[in-house]
Amino acid sequence: MNSLFKIHPLSYFKKCLSFPFAFQIGAFLLILPFLISVACFLFEQREIAELNQRISLLQKKQMRKEFQMKTEEKILSQIGKSESGYLKEVLESMVFLGSERQKWQLFSQQIEPSHPMKQRVSFLEQGSNKLEFVQTDIRKNELFQETEENQKNAIELSDEDLKTLLCYIEGAQIHPYSPKERAPQILLKSFELEKKNVPGMTDKTYHVQMQLIKREALVK
Position 178 scores a pLDDT of 92
* 1 three-state secondary structure: coil
Distance, in Å, from the CA atom of 208 to the CA atom of 220, rounded to the nearest integer, reads 34
Position 202 scores a pLDDT of 61
Question: Could you tell me how many residues make up the chain?
Answer: 220
φ, ψ of residue 183 to 5 degrees: the values are: -85, 145
| CB 146 within 8 Å of CB 139 | yes
Q: What are the pLDDT tens digits along the chain (220 aa)?
A: 444 445 555 565 555 555 555 556 666 667 777 778 888 888 888 877 887 787 777 777 777 777 677 777 877 888 888 888 899 999 999 999 888 887 777 776 676 766 667 777 777 777 789 999 999 889 988 888 999 999 999 999 999 999 999 999 998 899 899 999 889 999 999 999 998 877 666 678 899 999 999 998 886 6
187 in the same domain as 97: yes
161 in the same domain as 55: no
Looking at 81, 97, 118, the residue that finishes a domain is 81
Distance, in Å, from the CA atom of 216 to the CA atom of 186, rounded to the nearest integer, reads 9
180 in the same domain as 117: yes
Helix orientation angle between 116-126 and 98-107, rounded to the nearest 10 degrees? 130
Distance, in Å, from the CA atom of 119 to the CA atom of 203, rounded to the nearest integer, reads 19
| Contacts of residue 210, Cβ cutoff 8 Å, sequence gap at least 6 | 151, 188, 189, 190, 191, 192
60 in the same domain as 140: no
Provide the number of structural domains found in the chain.
2
90 in the same domain as 63: no
Enclosing domain of residue 29? 1-81
70 in the same domain as 17: yes
Nearest by Cα to 166 from 188, 182, 148: 188
| pTM exceeding 0.85 | no
Distance, in Å, from the CA atom of 136 to the CA atom of 116, rounded to the nearest integer, reads 38
Burial of 130 (0-12, 13-18, 19+ CB in 10 A): middle
